[in-house]
Amino acid sequence: MNFIHASDFHLGYAQYGLFERFRDYARAFNSVVQYAIDHRAEFILISGDLFHKRNINAPTYEQAYRVLSELKAKSPDTQVYAIEGNHDFPFHQDGRGWLEVLSSQGLLRLIRLKEANGVKLMGDFVELDSARIFGVRYLGSNTVSVIPQIAEEIKKINAACGEKYTILMMHFGMAGQMRQEIPGEIHYNSLLPLKEAVNYLALGHYHMNYELDGWVFNPGSVEMMAMNEYDLPKGFYHVRDSGTKLVTPVTRPVRRIKLDISSIATPGELYANVSSRLDREPPAPSDPLVELLLYGNMNFPKSEVSLDRIKDMLSEKFKPLWKDVKILGSSSQYMLNEGDVRGLTREEIELRVFSDRIKLDGRYRDHVEEMVKTMVEVKRMAAAGVEESAIQKELRWCFEKIKSSQDTGKTDEKAPPQNTQKTLLSRMEDA
What pLDDT band is residue 422 in, cutting at 50, 70 and 90?
A: low
CA neighbor of 236 nearest in space, from 209, 206, 214, 201: 209
Enumerate the CATH 3.60.21.10 domain ranges in the chain, comma separated: 2-247
- How far apart CA 292 and CA 2 sit, in angstroms, is 42
Collapse the DSSP code of 410 into the 3-class scheme (helix H, G, I; strand E, B; otherwise coil) and give the result. Answer: coil
Considering only residues 307 and 385, tell me which one the structure prediction assigns the higher pLDDT. 307
- Please write the tens of the pLDDT for every residue from 22-51: 999 999 999 999 999 999 999 999 999 999
Query: 384 vs 371, 381, 390, 428, CA distance in Å?
Result: 20, 5, 12, 16
pLDDT of residue 333: 40
Q: What average pLDDT score do residues 50-54 get?
A: 95
Q: Confidence band (pLDDT; 50, 70, 90) for 204?
A: very high
Q: By the 8 A CB rule, do 255 and 42 touch?
A: no
**Under CATH, which number does the domain 2-247 receive?**
3.60.21.10
The predicted model scores a pTM of: 0.78
In angstroms, the CA 411 to CA 195 distance is 49
What is the distance between the alpha carbons of residues 335 and 338, in angstroms, rounded to a whole number? 9
